[in-house]
Amino acid sequence: MRKPLNRTLRTLIVGVFAASLAVSAYAAEFINILTGGTSGVYYPLGVALSQIYGKAIPGSKTAVQATKASAENLNLLQAGRGEVAISLGDSLSDAWKGKEEAGFKSPLNKLRTIAALYPNYIHFVAVADSGIKSLADIKGKRISVGAPKSGTELNVREILKAAGISYKDFAKVEYLSYAESVELMKNKQLDVTLLSSGLGVAALRDLAVSQPVVFLTIPPEIVAKINDPAFQVGVIPAKTYEGQNADVTTISVQNYLVTHEKVSPETVYLMTKSMFENLDQMIAAHAAAKAINKDNAARTPPAPLHPGAEKYYREIGLIK
């Protein structure tokens, strides 16, 4: 007959079991961070998040995945093939509603918002020797509109529609990443492209240094015609890029950090808290993160807040 365990040993076993339960929410956590192309802003910010999460979430393993950005990220989250992603606000709104023409065949009802991040700015840029000086001049030219049904390409559709321009009006339409678009422009194979990105995006810095370019104004009346609250009038400040000597009026679209309902509240709480407590690391990864503002983080999310994020905002008094 087995002797009963002595009290000390029983206490030790109970303590170990309790400790294992305390970390169980995190121990098996694999956090795949969905970003965008490596030449954009999403990717370096995703790398910064992976480093922050790796230290803040006990037992977690993080990975950063380059993608075609917003639409692909949201579909991957819905399918459980990522735990957190960055997305444009209009894409997130379309995904939540199930807007088929935007690439969402049905509502992506598992999506949950973590935080508003920074605004993207629409960069409409042409090579200087193309003769393009305004939106009216782009007809008949060769354009790249971003990867098919990416956040950028969806932005292009809305802007061109409001300007009374269709893809049929161009000599050639390419569906390329930022880096690929810039390479074609350098090689005189492309006249104009549109990038939806944070200020100072690397691909455009590279292009502007290599040759003279023109940043096209998108007038406020175009924003009004789009009639979507996700689109606001924005300004690319002078000197953001080489040779850009004046402010450029354009469109801004808010970016969001997004997750899905199956990620535990404990994990999302730590994701939210650790990001805001380490914004210096985000800014070091890309200057666009300077615009991340805790006070705006929980306002009017396109998809419902995740309970873990809501817990953090209540804790710091942003939600009563």
Residue showing tokens 């003279």: 212
- What per-residue confidence (pLDDT) applies to 279? 98
Task: Please report whether residue 12 resides in a domain.
Answer: no
- State whether 103 and 148 are in the same domain: no
CA angle 71, 74, 80 (to 5 degrees): 145
Does residue 52 fall inside a structural domain?
A: yes
- Is 34 within the bounds of a domain? yes
Chain Cα centroid distance, residue 21: 34
Co-location of 33 and 111 in the same domain: yes
Return the amino acid letter for 131: G
Give the contacts of 164 (CB within 8 A, at least 6 positions apart).
Answer: none
SS (H, E, C) 188-241: CCCCEEEEEECCCCHHHHHHHHHCCEEECCCCHHHHHHHCCCCEEEEEECCCCC
What burial letters (b/e) apply to 111-133, b meaning 16+ CB within 10 Å? Answer: bbbbbbbbbbbbbbbbbeebebe
Do 124 and 114 belong to one domain? Answer: no
The residue range of the domain holding 142 is 120-253
CB neighbours (10 Å) of residue 26? 17
Q: Strand pairing partners for 259?
A: 112
Q: Strands 192-197, 30-34: parallel, antiparallel or unpaired by DSSP?
A: unpaired
- Say if residue 240 is in the same domain as residue 155: yes
* The three-state (H, E, C) secondary structure of 165-186, written as one string: CCHHHCCEEECCCHHHHHHHHH
204 and 142 in a single domain? The answer is: yes
Look at the chain and report how many structural domains it folds into. 2
**Strand positions, DSSP E, the chain:** 30-34, 61-65, 84-88, 111-127, 142-144, 172-174, 192-197, 213-215, 231-236, 248-260
Any idea what the CATH number is for the domain that residue 48 is in?
Answer: 3.40.190.10
Does 111 lie in the same domain as 132?
Answer: no
CB 117 within 8 A of CB 184: no
Q: How far apart are CA 167 and CA 156, in angstroms?
A: 10
Whether residue 100 lies inside any domain: the answer is: yes
| pLDDT value for 286 | 95
Q: In the structure encoding, which two tokens stand for residue 182, read together?
A: 């810039």
Between CA 272 and CA 238, with CA 280 as vertex, the angle to 5 degrees is 110
Nearest to 92 by CA among 110, 79, 80: 110
Tell me the pLDDT of the chain (320 aa) as tens digits.
444 445 544 444 444 434 444 444 444 589 999 999 898 899 999 999 999 999 999 999 999 999 999 999 999 999 999 999 999 999 999 999 999 988 899 999 999 999 999 999 999 999 999 999 999 999 999 999 998 878 788 889 999 999 999 999 999 999 998 889 999 999 999 999 999 888 998 899 999 999 999 999 999 999 999 988 889 999 999 999 999 999 999 999 999 999 999 999 999 999 999 999 999 999 999 999 999 999 999 988 999 999 999 999 999 999 99
- My answer on whether 114 and 129 are in the same domain is no
